[in-house]
Structure 1
Amino acid sequence: MAVCAAVLGYTTLATPVLLATPALFLATPVFAQVTAFKQAVAEAASDDKDIASFYQSNGYTPIWTGASDEDRARRGELLRAIEGAGAHGLPAAQYDADGLLAMLAAARTPRDRGLAEVEMTRVFLNYARDIQTGVLVPSRIDRLIVRDVDYRDRSSYLTGLSGEKPAKYFRSLPPRSLEYNALLKEKMLMEALLQRGGWGPVVPSGKLEPGNQGNAVILLRNRLIAMEYMERSSTVTYDAEITEAVRTFQEAHGLNPDGVVGAATLDQINISVEKRLQSVMVALERERWFNTDRGKRHILVNIPDFTAKVIDDGKITFQTRSVVGAASDDRPTPEFSDVMEFMVVNPSWYVPRSIVTKEYLPALQRNRNAVSHILVTDRNGRTVNRGAVNFNSYSARTFPFSMRQPPSNTNALGLVKFMFPNKYNIYLHDTPSKSLFAKDVRAFSHGCVRLADPFDFAYVLLAKQTDDPEGTFKRALNSGQESRINLVDPVPVHLIYRTAVTNARGHTEYRADVYGRDARIWDALAKAGVVLNGVQG
């Protein structure tokens, strides 16, 4: 929809009379028109304290419907912005550009203009907050999306707009990150692909590997060609070219690149363009929630990617595989940000109360010598003699003891844990269960994040504060005693959840929605009015 030039033009809104015969108000004193406008603004803004306060402070001066070039520029930029809201994955219908234009075109009295003035302000504030910090409230979608969104004071949008060139101000509202811009480009690509019909027929279930022949191999070949993982080919055999294309596909989707189409690879190959586009739309919303300074150096844990990365000046300087919380019960890893302050070498594992009461107490009630590698302790941390305790006399609510595993090579936390103290009791740590890092899907923990290369991770962190990071760490390790090493410069830690993410080459990669969170976010976005462009009706 093109912005209506008649409404935006100086000839219609340059006077207090909008789209009306000028003679109609020649007999009406100017002060009466001004008073009618102010009264209309005050009345229309009365149910919104931020809008009411703004107009009270500026003497009820219009910022949209006045006669000045600045007013004309502001209303023009607002209408252009809400017309293009769908390109950002926003619910464009909520801003109702057509309705706003119609309201402006029908304004024939100072009162009409005052009502239009406030309505434009309402629309602006809704749009500004949506595009800057998201349409949805994260915790309302999933209780473990506990990210603190950096919501701006609504009045700051109005003062900011009034003191800035309108075009520049509107350009400043969306996230400025490279990731957001890359996702916008991917959205356009996916929409165009969706309009063309997608990637063609899916590949039937069943394992496919080098040497296979038949219709399933042909469908696999065609889908890989459509996805641009291999050049056009007429092969009917799972040959070296298809094998290499499958490996490339697997690498781009966080899977083990073995060149064999197993269940996990097949699931990802058969996901439709429409579902991928939904992932991009959700990622845009998540990027708006995360529209804040992440730190010159920071740690980024992408839960469905099963990785932990150290980012310095926007570049990945270290990366390791991770294991995250299992998808069942209360074990998924939450999403939030905090600051890593120290590491503990040779840590004790203080067993969380939920594990003590749900898992270990029932085992102790069956056999007092169960989980014998873990100590039962009193409130002062002293070891309790199991033989003196009748475990069956306690319930999960009344059990008065704690449990602790002393430092060792078999400690559940391994030999080091990295602490960013938080109310969710989540941290990064080593693990003796190294075999899990070879799996495609690595969701097995009770919520904390296990690292495949914890020592190297420690060296990277310590390199900023010592010339001998490995020596510093190993001296603490070789002591065999639990010890703490503070980080001189604490490092922000961000636990995020992205199933669509841009790699270092600028290409979008996709991951499985391991907790189903993105599906719930998409459902909420759709209910809010976000639509997929390119869907064929």
Structure 2
Amino acid sequence: MFATEISTFYHKRNFALAWYDNGKVIEQAGNLTNRVLNLQNEGIKQIPPYKRILDSLFYNNDPQSSQPDVQLELMLTAQYFLFSKVAWGGMNDSVSTSVNWYVPRKKVSYGDYLDSLLKAPASQTRVKEPVYRQYELLRAYLRKYRELDMAESWPPIIYNARSRKLGDTSATVQIVKSRLYKFGDYSGDTTSHLFEPGLVNALKNFQNRYGLTSNGILDRATCLQLSVPLKKLIQQIIVNMERSRWLPVSITGDYISVNIPEFKMHVYHADSLLWSCDVVVGKSVHQTTVFYGEIKYVVFSPYWNVPPSIVSKEVIPGIKRNSDYLSKQNMEIIGHSDGLPVVRQKPGNINSLGLVKFLFPNSYNIYLHDTPSKYLFGESSRDFSHGCIRIKEPVKLAEFLLKDRPEWNAGTISQAMHSGKEKYITLKNKVPVFIAYFTAFIDRNNKINFRKDIYDRDNKLAATIISGNGNY
């Protein structure tokens, strides 16, 4: 196993030992051994091959001896390549594709990273690992939630109309306080039965972390989420640790990410989050695809070319009901294809794409765009579209994408959006876009967030992980 990688690694270093210094095992060897022998802490069910041999070789190694053990040396290198594959690289491409993940998988030379790891000075206790930053953050919460699960029973919290708001008093309130304290949302008196302002704030924190309406009330939805078994949350963390393994380690320059279950778009420069806004994504029958693209065009006052499926299911029946349907919808027929009229909606305030769209050419016909249906951004769950992504702050995005074009400012952008004439602007530099799917993630306040699995994708990936058959 990993014979080619091991041979290449030692050839590059002229077959010098890697895990010994002056005949003594280096600190990095102990760190690696600990993580390999405890793969469950990485959210991995697989048992490493030769686990007992590694355990015996490392912990029976004579620390006083100055004679390196070549068998331990080779075992450590082999186990490093195993660990890097399963913990940092993740399951093979067929697994990610089977769960509809079409973002290209990262490419990392783990042999080169091992060289960097071994060269790190002893005083440098942490070396940036070749894995997307969410992985390490989720790993810390995996440990915390497993400790909670071992220490606590977790009975469901039953909704009680008398225990839902400020000033109410009941035993349920005390149970909720205790649970929120364990989650890190509440820091007050956990023995009191009084619903006081501190609990209101704690509930808002919890509701924000779960994407619920942040009202500080112990409503049915909040009770339901507070009652989710810890084992279910642990499974959710493990599933999203696996997804984190698939993404690029880091990106330089500007890029955009959309997290579908979060209903959010995030704009970054390198690892710095610049701003975020709400989005509307595809409903379960018209799912937004998880993939990678590069924004190339900003289109002001766009036409909307109505998809054939919508023409057949909505436009034609509408025309049959009302001969003025097309004019009322500001649409026009511009041809025929495959027995259907080719319909487009003209630019304007009622255009389904709003006043601007952002194109990143792809085979899924998905893009970012404005919308006239602003009221949908007031919903906590925003899966309403036919697959494209509607953004709440399109003007801000246009200004961001065109920031290196001095002729495009707030005034000229507004004018182009309301001109009624379609205008394409080609970006000087294409901007990467990652359409991703994370139902558990760590926010910028280092708090874990959970979201509903709106496309029912967690269970399939969890089953593959739990099976323990690897697929690595």
Superposition TM-score, scaled by structure 1 size: 0.72
Partners of 2:28 and 2:136 lie apart in 1 by: 24
For residues 95 and 117 of structure 2, the distance between their equivalents in structure 1, rounded to whole angstroms, comes to 35
Residue in 2 aligned with 1:333?
288
Matched, 1:195 2:135: no
CA contact (8 A) 2:133 2:249 kept: no
Alignment of 1:260-275 (within 5 A): 260-275=217-232
Change (3 A) 1:213 1:114: closer
Counterpart selection for 1:87 from 37, 41, 51: 41
Q: Which amino acid aligns with 1:337?
A: Y
Which SS does the other structure have where 2:217 is aligned?
Answer: coil
The structure with the largest strand share of the pair is 2
CA distance change for structure 1 residues 193 and 321 in 2, over 3 Å: closer, same or farther? same
Deviation of the 1:164 alpha carbon: 6.0
Matched, 1:422 2:376: no
Alpha-carbon contact 1:79-1:97 (below 8 Å) kept: no
**2:335–2:342: 8 Å Cα contact kept in structure 1?**
no
Q: Structure 1 pair 253/466, CA: closer, same or farther in 2 (3 Å)? A: farther
* SS of residue matched to 2:430: strand
In structure 1, the residue matched to 2:103 is 147
Shift of 1:508: 2.0
Residue 395 of structure 2 aligns to a residue in which SS? helix
Residue matched to 2:134: 179
Q: CA deviation at 1:235?
A: 4.2
Closer, same or farther in 2 for the Cα pair 1:458/1:131, shift >3 Å?
same
Which residue of the partner structure matches residue 431 of structure 2?
A: 491
Distance 1:74 1:212 in 2: 55
Change (3 A) 1:52 1:280: closer
Q: List gaps (5 residues or longer) in structure 1.
A: 1-44, 106-112, 385-393, 531-537
Query: How does 1:115-514 map onto structure 2 within 5 Å?
Result: 124-137=80-93, 140=96, 142-152=98-108, 157=110, 166=118, 174-197=129-152, 200-205=154-159, 208-230=164-186, 231-327=188-284, 329=285, 331-357=286-312, 359-360=313-314, 363=317, 367=321, 369=323, 372=326, 373=329, 375=331, 377=333, 382-383=334-335, 398-466=338-406, 469-514=409-454
Distance change in 2, residues 1:362/1:192 (3 Å): same
Residues 277-334 of structure 1, C-alpha deviation per residue, up to 9 Å, x if partnerless?
Answer: 222222221111003433321112111111112112422222111111112x3x1212
Gaps of 5+ in 2: 60-68
Pick closer, same or farther for the CA change 1:99–1:261 going to 2, 3 Å.
Answer: same
Partner of 1:32: none
Structure 1 residues 356 and 115: alpha-carbon distance in aligned structure 2, compared to 1, 3 A threshold: farther
**Alpha-carbon distance between aligned partners in 2 of 1:194 and 1:150, rounded to the nearest angstrom:** 33
Q: Provide Cα deviations, 1:147-180, integer angstroms capped at 9, x if missing partner.
A: 210245xxx545775x666475998794354433
Q: Please give the TM-score of this superposition, normalised by the length of structure 2.
A: 0.80
Cα 1:371–1:523 change in 2 (3 A) is farther
Closer/same/farther in 2, CA of residues 469 and 376 from structure 1, 3 Å limit: closer
Could you report, residue by residue, the CA deviation over 1:449-473 in whole angstroms, capped at 9, with x for unpaired residues?
1111211222222224327521231
The answer to whether the 8 Å contact 2:174/2:190 transfers is no
Give how far 1:409 is off. 0.9
* Alpha-carbon shift at residue 430 of structure 1 (Å): 0.9
| Inter-CA distance 449–103: structure 2 relative to 1 (3 Å threshold) | same
Give me the whole-angstrom Cα distance separating, in 2, the residues matched to 1:70 and 1:337.
46
- Identity of paired residues, percent? 25
**Contact 1:132 1:173 survives alignment (8 Å):** no
In structure 1, the partner of 2:65 is none
Q: What number of residue pairs does the alignment pair up?
A: 454
Q: Is the 8 A contact 2:211 2:262 kept in 1?
A: yes
Residue 221 of structure 1 aligns to a residue whose secondary structure is helix
CA distance in 2 between partners of 1:435 and 1:523 (Å): 38
Q: For residues 131 and 197 of structure 1, do their structure 2 counterparts lie closer, same or farther at Cα, with a shift above 3 Å needed?
A: same
Task: Read off the aligned partner of 1:404 and give its amino acid letter.
Answer: R
1 CA distance for matches of 2:417 and 2:28? 62
Letter in structure 1 aligned against 2:105: V
Distance (whole Å) between structure 1 residues aligned to residue 9 and residue 392 of structure 2:
57
Q: Root-mean-square deviation (CA), in Å? A: 4.0
